[in-house]
Amino acid sequence: MSRYYLYGITRPRELPERLRDQGISLVADDNRAAVVSELHEGPVEATRRNLLAHADVVESLHEEAVVLPARFGYALESRDEALELLALPEIEELLERHEQTCELTLRGKYEEAVLAEVGAGLLPLREAYRAVPSVEAGIALGEAVGEGLAARRERDAAIVLETLGPLVLDVVKSEPAGELAAFDLALLTERDRVAAIEKLLEELTARLSPPLHFKLVGPLPPYSFVRLAMPAVV
């Protein structure tokens, strides 16, 4: 009996040769297919190589048609278990919902000049720190700058979302990583709206002060929008 590693779920189709050569195959019913590879005994290791391979499989299949990417590290114990999963009504609903969608991840980062703008309104604290650069004065000033920066992040994330408006179907916000990070957004959109979003962001960067640096990745499979409301099963 075979055990399978699960990459994601898609519609039945011909797999590209490159993936077949890597041992990727489909376990399919009439209308849905689990993307799998045979798994040997032992745990799945979360190595760089394995993580990138997982992303490569779901992302290259998503270029052609809908893929619901699985979280890293799931194993199916048998073919029957795969078929049982595919038969869930929630799976069909998600496949239909994401037939034409894709995810874009958008990270914004400030230039250091943002600190000068945020600090502009903090004259008393700045003067106190310059007069006596003690740890206490530094923390008081830095804390106020941190608060100002947090407000700025909120404001700019809101401006981005407002600008993109109805082009975006859904959003998941993450805590931005890094001191000068502005925001970290996962955007759900339609595949044919990606170019329009890119254009709006180009225009937006020029309008913001100081300019924000965006990193836009995608079109990706809808990683952040495949939450399954699990039925209570035994």
- What is the Cα–Cα distance from 209 to 69, expressed in whole angstroms? 37
Q: Would you call the peptide bond into 219 cis, given omega within 30 degrees of 0 as the criterion?
A: yes
Reported as type and span, the H/E element at residue 52 is: helix 48-62
Token duo for residue 144: 């106020």
Q: According to CB under 8 A, which one of 64, 154, 179, 192 is a site residue for other proteins?
A: 179
Per rule CB under 8 A, is residue 233 in the interface with other proteins?
yes
Region from 10-18, 21-29, 47-55, 155-163 binding other proteins, contact rule CB under 8 A = 47-55
- What is the Cα–Cα distance from 75 to 2, expressed in whole angstroms? 11
216, 201 Cβ separation under 8 angstroms: yes
In angstroms, what is the minimal distance from the CB of 24 to other proteins? Answer: 16
Region from 10-18, 25-33, 139-147, 157-165 binding other proteins, contact rule CB under 8 A = 139-147
**Three-state helix/strand/coil letters over 10-29:** ECCCCCCHHHHHCCEEEEEC
Task: Identify the DSSP state of 176.
Answer: P
Q: According to CB under 8 A, which one of 29, 65, 139, 196 is a site residue for other proteins?
A: 139
Closest to other proteins by CB, 162 or 233:
233
Binding track, positions 7-26, relative to other proteins; x by CB under 8 A: -xx-----------------
Q: According to CB under 8 A, which one of 18, 23, 113, 151 is a site residue for other proteins?
A: 113
Per rule CB under 8 A, is residue 174 in the interface with other proteins?
yes
Per rule CB under 8 A, is residue 168 in the interface with other proteins?
no
Q: According to CB under 8 A, which one of 29, 84, 93, 170 is a site residue for other proteins?
A: 84
- What is the Cα–Cα distance from 136 to 138, expressed in whole angstroms? 5
